[in-house]
Amino acid sequence: MHAPRAARRVVVTGLGVVSPAGIGLDAFWKGLQSEPQLRRERTVDDFDVTHWLSGKQARHLDRFTHFAVAAAAMALEDCGGLPEVDPTRAGVQLGTGIGGVGTLETQVGILAARGPGRVSPFTIPMVMPNAGAASVSLRYGLQGPSETLTTACAAGTHSVAAGARMVADGRCDVVLAGGAESSMTPTTVAAFTIMTALSRTGLSRPFDTGRDGFCIAEGAAVLVLEERDAAQARGARIYGEILGAASTCDAHHITAPSPGGAGAAACMRLALADADLQPADVTAVNAHGTSTPLNDAAEAAAVVAVFGAGAVPVSSIKGVTGHGLGAAGALEAASVLLSFQHRELPPTMGTTEVDPELEIDVVLEPREWQPGPTVSNSFGFGGHNGSLVLGPA
């Protein structure tokens, strides 16, 4: 155990979402209640980048950066515009798992077919994983820290946690935090397929007896984080509060979770300690819930170890959204904050028969709920674990 977080309390005043389940908060929430697509690759098909970027700007940025800019713009619009703060005290924390791999694969093809003279001079700034954070900072003149975490599928959660810490510690007054991803190239899909990580059926079924892998997805989510007193003073709407967070590493295997979910359990316990809460205080768990056999079993074991068998409702939105890799944790944090607003836990879509060996209370239908402290989990290749504790306003 360690001392709780710094005294400054951190709240969420704006949300922006680009997801296969919907673009914008209303569409996203509605999408979380909808029947999932039968698609192994979940793309954002109706995304029009020209709502946020000119054609020239868009051509010089990778698709994952398009998503980052769009989600940030929506989040700032949602909170009433960028709060009036010293620009050196306004920052960005944006996670991604792979960055501009789409651009990289395209330019490798151009190099092979047409020679080095035809490779785009914008290749490096398009490919670099920090392009999303840098582009958001440039767009809004944010001169505080602008950083990128690349902890695989935990990156979105880690970035929200890092952004919250910047505000809690007094380094920043406003931080745009979240994650963005668009990495469904022929090579990455082939690689995930050959390692048997992807679903063969095109269904994401978290915690189901028939789960057979995840459905890869793209998207982004950005949260506007502010110090609570300042947000209240300007009359901001508050979705919820970042009560605590933690990060651990399994140090067990480059892709497989530690046996029995020991690393995930340790991470949740540390996050609760950071929030100065006990397991009995938690009212729900937003699971990583990828629909892979080993990871779902490990996470379920970790939840049971921390909270007890069937003691807390558990839901995963990946049945609808697919697995957005470095964007997933930010999308899932946004879903928790919307759950607070709607006073309802979204269903774990795609799941019809919960694996009886898992001993957790999986939410299968929309469930009315009295909002309270909620744990949101993300786990990534490399053994990276991230847990957020979110509380209602």
Identify the active-site residue in 158, 215, 267, 323.
Answer: 323
Is 381 a member of any domain? Answer: yes
Split into its structural domains, the chain has a count of 1
Question: pLDDT tens, 198-219?
Answer: 999 999 999 999 999 999 999 9
Structure tokens at 328: 């997933």
Active-site residue, 249 included: no
Question: pLDDT tens, 321-359?
Answer: 999 999 999 999 999 999 999 999 999 999 999 999 999
Is 3 a member of any domain? Answer: no
DSSP label at 84?
Answer: S
Is 182 a member of any domain? Answer: yes
CB atoms within 10 A of CB 12: 29
Identify the active-site residue in 153, 172, 215, 267.
Answer: 153
* Structural domain harbouring 318: 10-392
Do 342 and 313 touch, CB atoms closer than 8 A? no
Residue 233, judged by CB atoms within 10 A of its CB (0-12, 13-18, 19+), counts as: exposed
Active-site residue, 2 included: no
Q: Over the chain (393 residues), what is each successive 10-residue block's mean pLDDT?
A: 61 98 98 92 96 96 98 98 96 98 98 98 98 98 98 98 97 98 97 96 97 97 98 97 98 92 97 98 98 96 98 98 98 98 97 97 97 98 97 96
**pLDDT reported for residue 55:** 94
**Where do we find the tokens 């901001």?**
236
**Non-local CB neighbours of 223 within 8 Å, separated by 6+ positions:** 12, 14, 15, 75, 160, 163, 176, 177, 178, 330, 333, 334, 337
Is 4 a member of any domain? Answer: no
**pLDDT reported for residue 37:** 82
**pLDDT reported for residue 7:** 73
Is 1 a member of any domain? Answer: no
Is 292 a member of any domain? Answer: yes
pTM given for the model: 0.96
DSSP string, 116-182: GGGS-TTHHHHHSTTHHHHHHHHHHT--S-EE----GGGHHHHHHHHHHHHHHTTS-SEEEEEEEE-
**pLDDT reported for residue 30:** 97
Is 133 a member of any domain? Answer: yes
Identify the active-site residue in 66, 158, 288, 384.
Answer: 288
Structure tokens at 194: 């050959």
Is 5 a member of any domain? Answer: no
CATH for 277: 3.40.47.10
CB atoms within 10 A of CB 25: 20
Distances (CA, A) of 297 to 255, 289, 359: 14, 9, 10
Q: What is the 3-state secondary structure (H, E, C) of 14-73?
A: EEEEEECCEECHHHHHHHHCCCCCCCCEECCCCCCHHHCCCHHHHHCCCHHHHHHHHHHH
Do 337 and 29 touch, CB atoms closer than 8 A? no
**pLDDT reported for residue 5:** 45
